[in-house]
């Protein structure tokens, strides 16, 4: 669970050794010099090298060759060649988001966030449970376990209509639609609160990757109201197909992620 902080130039240097410039969930811009990515690459790499050396992460081996420390090597491999990326994006204001990605490779689970000072924080997770729990917590899900679960089935169109109704003040109509889907009144009210006035909301994307490219994606909308009620919506298959609305929590979402990933990976095997 140790976290290390790396400057973008250090990451750019590491990625260059794997012949990779883009990282799933981030693209290449955050690791390029200058705001528009047109800065001096040579100076950028030199800066990255100097930082890694100073931090003792670029070391000399007994055979007099130079290499990166094993923990950094392992983390880099997960970042440049993941099998799965869990991307948690928490909504911040109307046009902003905070992002955590967790990259899963054969040997490592590495989380990546960018901090306000521009440094990246790399966190090594012990296992999938820890990584999934981190993503759920990052999205502000309710800490208390779900005691009375509820799951509703709908589709994207219906969900859009309900959102529009709720946003435009037609709460009663939206409530009636939710009750029609099978939600008890109190639950429907809680869901509407989460949809219209969340204390935290965001999106969790499970990105199934090969060759450092996301080949398929599964996304969850996560909404929490007043820290106690978390609701998620997700398309089970295609975006046009069936959608599920479900009461959730940090542990419920963690469990869902673990089982979904295990099942999906088994299907693809």
Partner 1 sequence: MTSNIERIRAAETVIPQLQDQLKTLREEALADDGQVDAEERVDIDRVADKLSSVMQAVATALQDWTANKAAYDVLRSGLETRIKDVAANTLPDLDQDKRAIAQLVAGLDQVAGAEDYAAALELCHKLETYLDSFESEVESARLDAMPPEQLAAQDLTQCDLDTLFTEDYMTDLADTHFPGEGTEKLADLMTEIENGVSGERRAEVMAALSEIHEGSPTAGEFDADYTRFLVLRKQQDAIGDKNNCGDMEKLDEDKHPDFRGSRSQLMFGKVVGDAFDIHEIFAALLSPTGGLIGAGNQFVGDIDSPHWDAENPISLHGTVHDAAGYLKSFHEQGPGYNYRDNFFEGLATDAIECLPPDWQAELLPYTGQLSGGGYWIWETGGEFTQAKLDEVALALEEGLTDARDDAAKEAARMLGEVEKAKQEMIKTADQARKDAEAGLDQARREVETRVQQAERDLRDLADQAEAEVMGACDAAQQAAESVGRSAVEQYEEAAAEFENMTQDACDTLDAIADFIWS
Restricted to residues 207-246, the positions that interact with partner 1 (CB under 8 A) are: 207-208, 210-221, 234-242, 244
For residue 161, the SS3 value is: helix
Q: Which is nearer to partner 1, 95 or 186 (CB)?
A: 95
Return the ∠ at Cα 55 (arms to 51 and 61), rounded to 5°.
105
Any idea of the CA torsion for 130, 133, 240, 194, to the nearest 10 degrees? -170
Q: What are phi and psi of 125, to 5 degrees?
A: -100, 145
* Contact call for residue 4 and partner 1 (CB under 8 A): no
Residue 66 lies near partner 1 (rule: CB under 8 A): yes
**Per-position x/- string for 102-131, each x denoting binding to partner 1 as judged by CB under 8 A, each - no binding:** --x-x----x-xxxx-x--x-x-xxxxxxx
Rounded CA gap, 33 and 14, in Å? 15
CA distance linking residue 265 with residue 269, whole number of Å: 6
- Taking the least distance from each CB to partner 1, the nearer of 185 and 215 is 215
Nearer to partner 1, 43 or 185 (CB): 43
For residues 143 and 181, what is the distance between their CA atoms, to the nearest angstrom? 27
Should residue 249 be labelled a site residue for partner 1 when binding is judged by CB under 8 A?
A: yes
Q: Scan residues 159-188 and list those touching partner 1 (CB under 8 A).
A: 159-160, 163
Tell me the two tokens of residue 119.
Answer: 């440094």
Residue 11 binds partner 1, judged by CB under 8 A: no
185/197 with CB nearer partner 1: 197
CB of 99 to partner 1, least distance (A): 6
Which of these segments, 26-34, 173-181, 182-190, 224-232, binds partner 1 (CB under 8 A)?
26-34
Helix pair 70-80, 8-17: axis angle to 10 deg:
80
Q: What distance, in Å, lies between the first and last C-alpha atoms of the chain?
A: 29
Q: Is 267 in the site for partner 1 (CB under 8 A)?
A: yes
């Amino acid at each position: 669970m140790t976290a290390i902080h790396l400057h973008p130039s250090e990451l750019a240097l590491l990625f260059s050794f794997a012949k990779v410039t883009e990282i799933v969930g981030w693209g290449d811009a955050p690791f390029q010099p200058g705001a528009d990515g047109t800065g001096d690459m040579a100076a950028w790499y030199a800066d990255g090298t100097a930082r890694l050396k100073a931090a003792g992460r670029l070391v000399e081996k007994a055979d007099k060759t130079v290499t990166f420390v094993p923990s950094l090597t392992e983390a880099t491999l997960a970042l440049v060649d993941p099998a799965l990326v869990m991307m948690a994006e928490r909504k911040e204001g109307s046009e902003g988001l905070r992002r955590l990605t967790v990259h899963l490779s054969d040997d490592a689970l590495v989380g990546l966030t960018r901090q306000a000072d521009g440094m990246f924080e790399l966190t090594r997770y012990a296992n999938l449970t820890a990584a999934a729990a981190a993503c759920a917590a990052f999205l502000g899900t309710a800490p208390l376990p779900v005691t009375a679960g509820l799951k509703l089935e709908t589709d994207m169109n219906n969900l859009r209509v309900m959102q529009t109704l709720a946003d435009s003040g037609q709460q009663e109509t939206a409530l009636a639609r939710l009750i029609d889907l099978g939600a008890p009144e109190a639950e429907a009210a809680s869901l509407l609160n989460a949809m219209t006035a969340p204390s935290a909301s965001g999106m969790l994307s499970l990105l199934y990757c090969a060759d450092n490219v996301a080949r398929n994606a599964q996304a969850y909308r996560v909404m929490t109201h007043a820290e106690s009620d978390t609701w998620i919506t997700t398309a089970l298959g295609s975006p046009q197909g069936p959608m599920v609305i479900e009461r959730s929590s940090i542990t419920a979402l963690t469990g869902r992620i673990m089982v979904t990933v295990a099942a999906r990976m088994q299907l693809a095997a």
